[in-house]
Amino acid sequence: MLIFVIWAVASCSKDETPDQGTGGGNSGGSACDLSNVTFSETVWPIINANCTSCHSGASPGGGILLTNHATVAAQGAIGSGNPGSLLGAITHAAGNSPMPQGQAKLSDCNISKIRTWINAGMPDN
């Protein structure tokens, strides 16, 4: 038990130091690079890794497809709290179903990247 606690503390502090300045990845730390957000390089990898498993195919979750720019942008255009809102779902806003369903919330950094893309007008880049 004590050994586990020491290991947990040690591995936790180890996780917090690197990752800085790489601009990519899932790190929710202070080094969240929002300077070069694109659909293909930033938003799509997040959606594809966390959402597309359920939001694709003949009967996607909630009838919502998240399989390409057009379908992601369609949900992104809906304001938080309204049915189908991309940002509302991933920020767990009141009035939306928390996504990804049954899994941990996306990192703050990944949520910020998606918000940045939406605020930029959701370019297909």
> Judged by CB under 6 A, which of 42, 76, 96, 111 binds ligand HEC?
96
- Between residues 23 and 98, which has the closer beta carbon with respect to ligand HEC? 98
Tell me: does residue 87 bind ligand HEC (CB under 6 A). Answer: no
Tell me: does residue 59 bind ligand HEC (CB under 6 A). Answer: no
C-beta separation of 39 from 117 below 8 A? yes
C-beta separation of 43 from 37 below 8 A? yes
Tell me: does residue 100 bind ligand HEC (CB under 6 A). Answer: yes
Cβ neighbourhood burial of 57 (10 Å; 0-12, 13-18, 19+): exposed
Number of Cβ within a 10 Å radius of residue 25? 14
C-beta separation of 29 from 19 below 8 A? yes
C-beta separation of 111 from 25 below 8 A? no
Tell me: does residue 86 bind ligand HEC (CB under 6 A). Answer: yes
Tell me: does residue 102 bind ligand HEC (CB under 6 A). Answer: yes
- Between residues 102 and 121, which has the closer beta carbon with respect to ligand HEC? 102
- Which region, judged by CB under 6 A, interacts with ligand HEC, from 6-14, 18-26, 29-37, 89-97? 89-97
Residues 17, 24: Cα–Cα separation, whole Å: 15
Tell me: does residue 75 bind ligand HEC (CB under 6 A). Answer: yes
Residues that bind ligand HEC (CB under 6 A): 50-51, 53-55, 61-62, 64, 66, 75, 83-86, 88-90, 96-97, 99-103, 106
